[in-house]
Amino acid sequence: MARRWTKTEEENLRKELYRLYVTQNKTIGEIAKLLLIEQSSVHKRLIRLSIPITPEKKKKYLNKRTDIVIPKKKSKELAEIIGILLGDGSLTHFQVVVTLGNKEYSYAEYVKCLMNNVFHADAKIGTRETKYNDVYFGSVEVSSWLQDQGLVFNKVKDYVDIPGWIFSKDIYKKACLRGFFDTDGSVYKIRHGMQLSFTNYSVPLILSLRKMLFELEYTPSRLSSHKVYITRKEEIIRFFKEIKPKNIKHLQRFKTINASVV
C-alpha cells in the first residue's frame, strides 16, 4: 500500500506535476522519464492530485502510434473486448479505458492481456486511491475505429447497442456475453435458488443481450428496471460451463452459491 502523503508533500507534488504537465505541456511519457517513474505512476498521480488529464493539448496528440494494430478480421477476442467495453468501458477521443472494482485486479490483468493481444496496445493498469483499477491505453486511431464499430462516448445518452456482426456466429455471441457479464453481470443467491443478472441503462443494449441469450437457448426474463435475469439453476450452471466467465469474483461466488443451493 502506498504511503499517505503529508499535506506539504502533496502540495509540493501538485506544484511539480502542474508545472511539468500544464505549464510546460509535457506528455505523461516525458514526465515519467524526468521523474524516473513509470507512466502509470504519473497517470495515478494526476488523478490523485485532481489535475485534469488533457492529452489533446500535447504536441504529439494527433500522431499515430506505429505499434498499434487495427483488427482486420472479426474474432472471439475482439467480441469479448467489445462486451467488456459495453459493460465497464469508456472511450474518449484519445483513450480506451476499462474501470474495474477494488477486488478485480486479477481480472484487470486479464483485460490488459486481451487488449495487448488484439491491438498490440501496451495497455497499462492504474490503481486509484480508492483502489479501483483503470486498464487503459492511448490511441486516437483505435478510439475512432471502435466508434465506427458502434461504440460511443456516452453509452446511455447515445443508446449504444451491440455491433451486428457479433450475432453472426455463436462463438462471437458467447465471447461478447462473457465480456459483458464479467463487467456488468452478477450471480447471487435468492430465496429458492440462485439468479444471474445483466444490467445496463441503454435499453437497445440490454434488449440485444436478451435476444442473444434466447438465440443461445437460454430463457431470460423480460426487461425489468434495466435488468435481465436467468433464474433456472440448470441454465445458470450451463452458462458458467459454456460462457466461461473470467472474472474470479463471479467464479468464486457461483461456486459458493451452487454448493449451498439444493
Q: Cell 462486451 appears where?
A: 83
Question: Kind of pairing, strands 133-138 and 95-100?
Answer: antiparallel
Taking each helix axis from N to C end, the angle separating 170-184 and 76-88, rounded to the nearest 10 degrees, works out to: 30
Predicted confidence (pLDDT) at residue 18 exceeds the cutoff of 90 = no
Secondary structure (3-state) at 166: helix
In whole angstroms, how large is the CA radius of gyration of the chain? 20
Gap between the Cα atoms of 86 and 82, Å rounded: 6
- Is the Cβ–Cβ distance between 185 and 250 less than 8 Å? yes
**What pLDDT score does 155 carry?**
62
Q: From 163, 158, 193, select the one nearest 180 (Cα to Cα).
A: 163
Q: Report the Cα 54 to chain-centroid distance in Å.
A: 21
The residue ranking higher by pLDDT, 140 or 248, is 248
- Is the Cβ–Cβ distance between 136 and 81 less than 8 Å? no
Predicted confidence (pLDDT) at residue 56 exceeds the cutoff of 80 = no
- Ranking 91-100, 168-177, 233-242 by mean pLDDT, the lowest is 91-100
**What pLDDT score does 59 carry?**
54
How does pLDDT run across 58-105, given as a tens digit for each residue?
655 544 566 788 998 999 999 999 999 999 888 887 889 999 988 899
Gap between the Cα atoms of 143 and 96, Å rounded: 6
Gap between the Cα atoms of 181 and 198, Å rounded: 7
End-to-end CA distance of the chain: 41
Secondary structure (3-state) at 137: strand
Q: Which residues contact 3 (CB under 8 A, 6 or more apart)?
A: none
Q: Using the Cα atoms of residue 136, residue 138, residue 140 and residue 145 in order, give the sign of their dihedral.
A: negative
Q: Which residues contact 183 (CB under 8 A, 6 or more apart)?
A: 83, 84, 87, 88, 89, 98, 100, 247
